[in-house]
């Protein structure tokens, strides 16, 4: 008896489309979390007329840098959410990382986390998402 006799195989086109949509939603959720972190960090910075909770210039610079990094990564994840479905997604994501001044491999943890945290119970979509992230990870790392 052949494995094809049971009707099992790679995820179909609908599963791949569901996976891409679920990955995009998971990446958007990560971006929202980073944007909230950036906003919270910026709120800690003193204004032009007050000392604020951070009066040491070195600490303020560190907080400002952390806020800027979180905002940049949030923007990059939003772009990744839009690009994850394209045929040349890895190349376009690599270009987006270059524009952001980040290595392309810096997206891998977010992509893997998105594949693990898919907002769906569709098993075939989860498998397809894992395949997409694995292929994209190989293309981004190489």
pLDDT, tens digit (0-9, with 9 covering 90-100), for 13-29? 888 888 888 899 999 99
Report the percentage of the chain scoring pLDDT > 90: 32
Within the chain, what is the greatest distance between any pair of CA atoms? 78
Determine, yes or no, domain membership for 1: no
- Residue partners of 10: CB distance under 8 A and separation at least 6: 131
**Model pLDDT, residue 54:** 56
Residue reference for tokens 């979180």: 70
Mean pLDDT of 101-111: 90
- CATH number of the domain at 24, please: 1.10.490
Determine, yes or no, domain membership for 39: yes
Residue reference for tokens 């800690």: 44
Domain of residue 102, residue span? 13-141
Count of other CB atoms within 10 angstroms of residue 134: 13
Query: How many domains does the structure of the chain reveal?
Result: 1
pLDDT, tens digit (0-9, with 9 covering 90-100), for 33-49? 999 999 999 988 877 67
Mean pLDDT of 116-132: 86
Model pTM?
Answer: 0.81
Determine, yes or no, domain membership for 6: no
53 pLDDT higher than 90:
no
Q: Is-contact 128 16, C-beta < 8 A?
A: yes
């Amino acid at each position: 008896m052949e494995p094809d006799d049971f009707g099992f195989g790679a995820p179909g086109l609908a599963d791949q489309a569901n996976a891409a949509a679920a990955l995009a939603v998971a990446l958007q959720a990560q971006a929202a979390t980073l944007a909230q972190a950036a906003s919270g960090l910026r709120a800690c910075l003193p204004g032009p007329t007050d000392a604020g909770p951070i009066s040491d210039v070195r600490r303020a610079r560190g907080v400002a840098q952390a806020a800027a990094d979180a905002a940049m990564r949030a923007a990059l994840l939003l772009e990744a959410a839009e690009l994850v479905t394209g045929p040349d997604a890895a190349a376009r994501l690599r270009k987006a990382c270059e524009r952001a001044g980040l290595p392309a491999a810096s997206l891998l943890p977010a992509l893997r986390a998105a594949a693990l945290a898919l907002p769906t119970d569709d098993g075939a979509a989860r498998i397809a998402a894992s395949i997409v992230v694995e292929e994209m990870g190989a293309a981004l790392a190489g």
